[in-house]
Amino acid sequence: MKISDLGPLLTFAKVVELKSFRAAAEALGAPRSTVSHKVAQLEDRLGIRLIERTTRTLRLTEAGSAYHRQIAPALEALEDADRAVVDLHTAPRGVLRITAPAEFGQLAVGEVVAEYMRRHPSVDVHVELTDRVVDLVEEGFDLALRRGPLENSTLVARKLGRPGHMRVYASRDYLRRRGEPRHPEDLAHHDCLVMTSLRQPVIWKFRQGRKRIAVEVRPHAGVNSFTLLCELAVAGHGVARLPEFLGERALPAGTLRTVLDAFVEPPYEWHAVYPSARHVSPKVRALIQVFSELSAAAHWGQTKKRRGAS
């Protein structure tokens, strides 16, 4: 493809985006006949019809739909390059609305927001911590922080920094009374503290080398707060699976210790999720940058005191 072919290609993409030749012509500041001619040029070059036209509607042909899917990422990359140059001279400003899971938000997001506000004092930040699935577009959020695997959606997801890890913890008092599990299957004989309902099977997953292990555990307590789980484990009520950055806070005091260290758990990922890769504002790009920098650090989610501990 030659550089001169970009005009018809960009015109075609605009027609698809706006679902109208007239709307595309207005957006491009060109006569409708010019827009129609450029799309026809593209079809002639490819030797295939991309759009079925009627007097009132248009629809993509199967080939047109497939072609648009292929070119869309490249066009977005071109737009990203344009925006990146403009953003170099555009300071983040306005109101930034963020949502994050309640428990993980309390543990990990505060540091990110504080650093963002330090760098960008002209931005007003609103944070909502909730475990419900938020409709970003409908509810007017700029970005969501989400943990673990993501459902298929039209949202854009960007992986942030290092994966997180879950580890298994118990108090020394509990281990003296009940013994230490040496293999995940030993958990069947232990009181387990879980982040879920007591009424459904609870599966904990482990990995030893290439071998994957999944065991069903018996919940002695089921709650929806990792902080409460940690407190119950410290009190000696059972074995808990906790985010590493939370469990490690109790290690220096000797109130908890890790078990089953030879069996690692699959890591989970953090993602920044936002409505579209197109027209991402400088304030959102700046937040993603801070998330990426801090989530790549080993101390993310830990207190400053713990960060300096040896």
Extents of the domains making up the chain: 3-87, 94-160+269-307, 166-259
Fold of 3-87: Arc Repressor Mutant, subunit A (1.10.10)
Most confident of 75-89, 204-218, 282-296: 204-218
CB 217 within 8 A of CB 191: no
Q: What pLDDT, in 10s, does the model give residues 27-67?
A: 989 999 999 999 999 999 999 999 998 767 788 999 999 99
Q: Which two tokens stand for residue 269?
A: 């990922």
Q: Is 240 left (phi over 0), alpha (psi -120 to 50) or beta?
A: beta
SS3 (DSSP) at 9: helix
- Residue 293 or residue 279, greater confidence: 293
Whose CA is closest to 181, among 212, 142, 156, 215? 215
Per the listing, tokens 């475990």 go with: 131
Banded pLDDT at 198 (limits 50, 70, 90): low
Q: Would 94-160+269-307 and 166-259 be classified into the same CATH topology? A: yes
The 10 Å Cβ neighbour count of residue 19 is: 12
Percent of the chain residues topping a pLDDT of 90: 37
Segment 266-280, tens digit of pLDDT: 777 778 888 875 567
Q: Quick one: CATH architecture of 166-259?
A: 3-Layer(aba) Sandwich (3.40)
Structurally, at CATH architecture level, domain 94-160+269-307 sits in 3-Layer(aba) Sandwich (3.40)
What does pLDDT average to over the chain?
A: 83
8-state DSSP, 297:
S
Confidence band, pLDDT 50/70/90 cuts, at residue 232: very high
